Chain A
Amino acid sequence: MPRRLFTLLAAALVTAMIALATVGKVPVETDLLAMLPATERSPVAEQAMAQLARTHEKRLVLLTVADDAAQARAGAEALAHTLRASPALQHVTLEVPPDALDTLLTTYLPHRFGLLSAATRKALQQDGRDALMQDLYRALASPIPAATPVPRPLDPFGTLAGFLAELPFAGGGFAPENGILMAHRDGRSYALVSAETVDSPHAVSTQEAVLEALAQARAAVQTQTPTAHVEATGLVLYAAAAQTTAKREMSLIGGVSLLGITALLLLAFRSLRPVLLGIACIATGVAAGIAVVLLVDGRLHLLTLVCGTSLLGIAVDYPLHYFAKRRLAGAAWHADEAMAAMRPALTQGLLTSLLGYTALLAMPFPGLRQIALFSMAGLATAYVATRMMLPLFAGAADPRSTAGLDRLRKTFSGWQHVLQSRARWLLPLAILACLPGTWMLSHNDDVRLLSTPDPMLARQEAQIRELTQLGQGSRLFLVNGRDNEHLLQREEQLTDALRAHDLDHSGGFTAISTFVPSTQRQASNRQLIGARLFGDDRWAQHTLDDIGYHPRIGQALADAFAAEKPLTPDAWLKLPLSTPYRHLWLGPAQAGVASVVTLHGHWPTDALATGANLPGVTLLDKPAAVSSLMGQYRRGMAWALACAIGLSLILLSRRHGWRGAAATLAPCVLAVGAPLAALGYLGLPATLFHWLALMLVFGIGADYGIFTREGGPQGEAALGVLLAAITTVLGFGLLAFSSTPAIASFGLTLFLGVITAFLASPLALTGRDAPEAAS
C-alpha cells in the first residue's frame, strides 16, 4: 500500500512541477551574483554596493553609429521613438535640455572663487601670480577659439572654466548638438540614447520584452537610415544572452544525454519498462528537488537547474543496478528478496553521496547551498522511488537469454582479474603516479571564470565604454565621515591621493566632492586666489587694466569676490544637475554620513591601496572580494572532501572492516586523485568548480565501490556499474561541452573521475574472498 501511495504522490508532484513550468510560474534566477554570498562585512558597504548595483543593472546605453552626423541623428530619433513604445522600458532619453549649459553657469558662477581645478590649485600654490598671469594670457592668446559657457569678462583668468572642464560629466566625448548628445571619431558619428528597464533585468519577461523592443528599434533604424546601425549595452542584454545560452545548452545537453541513456538502456534490457521506470525515478527526483528549493529559497537559480540536469546521471544509477540484477538473474528472480539484498548497497551509496552534499550545504555560497539542497532532495527521493516503485512495476522475472550480456561480463571479468591479481603493486603505483601531478596542481579563483560574456555584447560594451567613459560599478571607494563637511574633506583626501597616482591621466573617478568641494577646500581656494587677485595692491584690477580690459570688469570681479558664499552639498543635491550623481551620496549611515567614489579607466593596484589606507575610506572590489571568497570555499571544499572520505571510511568499516572499507573506497580515492593529477600535469589551474565536480565524483566512486563489493566476489555488480558509468558519462560528461567555463570544467572533471572510478571499481573486491572478520 505505501508503494502505491508513494507512486500516486510522486505522479502528483511531477505533474504539478510540469504544470508550473508550463505556465512559466517557476521563478528562475539568472543573476550569477545572486549565487554569491554577501562579501562585505559592513552594512554600509553592502548598502553602497546594492544601491550602485540597482543603478547600474537597470541601465541600458545605446548608440547609433553612422558615417555622418545627420544619419546618426535620424537613426537615434527612430531608435528612441521605438524604444519609448515598449512598456518594459522607461526614461528613454535622447534630447538634452537646451539650457543644460546655462544651468551649469547659474549653478557655479555665484561660487566661482571657491572652485578651482586641481591643476589651477597646484599652479597657484607653486607659481602664485605667474600662474594667473599665464591663465589670463592663455584665455586671450589661444589660437583655438575657446568658447566656454562662462562669458570671458566674468572669468578673465579662466579659473571657473578650468573647474568646469574637470567635472566628470557622464558622456565623456559626447556633447550636445541641436539637443542630442553626439560624438564624432575616426570618421564616424555617434548619437547617444539611454534607457532603463522598468523591472529587474533578471526577470525573463523583462529580458524578452527588451530584446523584442531592441529588435524592433534596430529594424526601424534600418528602415529610416540604412547606413546607420545600433550598438547597445546593459546588464539586461547579458542576462538575456546567458538565459538563452543556458536554455539552449540545457535542452541540447539534456536532450542528447536523455537520448543516449534511453538508447543504452533499450540495448541492454531490450524492453521499454526499465527506461520508463528509470525516467520516472529521475523525474520524481528532479520534481522533488525543484519543489524543495522553491519551498526553501522561493526561487530556483538557473545554475542549479543546469547542474540539476546532471542529477539525471546519478539518480538513474539506483534503478540501473536493480534492472541489471534482474536481467542477469533470468528466471530465478524474486523482486522483494532482491530488493532486500540490494538495500544495504543502495543505502550506503545514498548515505555517502549525502555526506558529500552535506559539506556543500555547509558552504555560505547561496548558490552552492541550493545545488546541494536540490541534489540531496532529488537523490533521496529517487532512492525512495527506486525502493517503492521498482518492485511494484517490475517485480516479475525477466527470463530472456543473457548471452550478449554474459560476453560483456566476461570481458570485464578479464579486466577485473588483471586488476585484482596485481592490486598489490598497481594501487601504490597509481597513487605514486598521481602524487607529482597533485603536487604540481595550481589554483585560480578568478570570479570571471563564472561566465564568458557573449563576444558580440562584449565588443559593443567596450566601444560604448570607451566613448562614454562609463564607470564599471564593481570597484569603488566607500567614504565615511561625521557630517557632510567631514565626508567631503575625506573624499578630497582620497581624490588628491588618486590624482597624485594618476600622472598619465589614464584613470578616472566620479566623486561628489568634485562637483561640490568641501567648505574647507572652497575657503582655501578663495584664500589662495583672493590673496593674489584682490589683496591690498588690487593686483587683479591693475593687471586687467594693463591688458586692456575696461575698469568695470575688474571692479565687478572684486565685488563678486567680496560677496561670495560657498556652495553647500545640500543646495547642490537639490539641483537638477545633480540627478545623475545622487546615488553616490548615501547620506546618513551608521555613525555619520557616507558616500561612494566610483572609478573608471585604468588604476594600478598600489593607487587603490593608497586610497584605501586613508581614514574613513574603504575600497570595495566586488570581483576581488568574491574571488578571494571562492578561494576560501575551494579550500573548504577540499577539506570537506577529505572529511567525507574519512567519514565514509568509518561508516563502511562497520560493515566491511577497516581493510574492506579501504578497498571499497579505493576506486573512489583514485577517481578523485586522477582528475587532480591530470590538471596538474597539464598545467591547468583548478577552480572551485573542479572541486565541486570532485565532490560528485567522490559520491559516484563510493557508489561503484559499494555496489561492486556488495554485488558479490565474482563481480556480479559489474553490469550495473558499467551501465551506471556510461549513463553518468552521458549525463555529466556532456557538460564539458558547455560554453560556460565553470560548467565545462565541472563536466570534464566528472568525465575523468567517472571513467577512473569505473575502471578501478574491481579494486573494491580486494580481500572480499577472505572471510570478513568484522561482519
Chain B
Amino acid sequence: MTIRSNMIILKPQMDPDTDIGGRLHRFPVTSHSAIVAARSDDLEVRQRAFETILTSYWKPAYKYIRLKWQASNEEAKDLTQGFFAIAIEKNYFARFDPTKASFQTYLRTCLDGFVANQKKSEQRLKRGGGTNTFALDFESAEEELNRHRVSDGITPDQYFYREWVRGLFTLAVEALRRSYDEKGRSVHFKLFEAYDLRDEQVTKLTYADLAREFSLNSIEVNNYLAAARRDFRRIVLDKLRETTGTEEEFQREARALLGIKIK
C-alpha cells in the first residue's frame, strides 16, 4: 500500500437488512472483450465487436477532432466517419497490443495518425467524406460541445479521456434504465435518476424527500438505491471489460476509472 492519506467520509450507509443481492450473490461476468472479438475469424462476431467499439468511442473521437485538430463540425463528422470506416476495413483494432498501451491510448494514436494523414494529403473526402457509413448522432455531440465549454488547461488527451468516461457512464445509465424497464422496476431507476444523476448545483434531496415523492418508506428507498448503484457499477465494469483487451488492462482501467479523480 502506498497511499495512506486522503481519508474520505462515505455516504449514508446501506441498510444491512436488504434482501437484494445477499451474501451468496455472485458478480455475474456477462460481457466479453470487444477488442479480443475484433480479432475473430467470424465476420458476425467481428461486426458486433466493431459496433461496441464504435458506440463507446465515436463521440469522444468526434469531440477530440474538433478540439485538437480545430476541425469544423462538417470536417470532424467526415473524419470521424472516415476513421471508423477505415479502422474496420483495415481492422486496426485487431492490431492492438495491450502490453504497449491501453486501448483508448491506442485508438487515440490511430486517430491522430489518420487525421494527420488526411490533412496532409488533403484526401479527406476519399474515405467516408460526405458519406454516412454509420448512423451517428453528431447533432447531439455538437450540442454538447456548444453547451459545455472545455475547461481551461485541459490537454486534448485529458479531454479525450474525460469524454470517454462520460460516454461510458452515459451508456451505463441507459443500459440500467432499459434493464429496469424490462424487469418492471422502473421505480428503482427513477430513484437513482432523482438522487444520483442530479447535478450538484441543484438542491440535494434527502431519502425522506424521495420516500414522500415516490410513496415509499425510507428503508425501501435505501434498498432500491443500493440495488441500483450495485447494478450500475456492474454495468460500468461490464462495459469497461468490453473495451479493454486483457484482464490486466481491465483491472488497470477499473482502478483509474473508479479510484482516481479526473480533471
The finding on whether chains A and B are genuine partners in a shared complex, rather than unrelated, reads: no
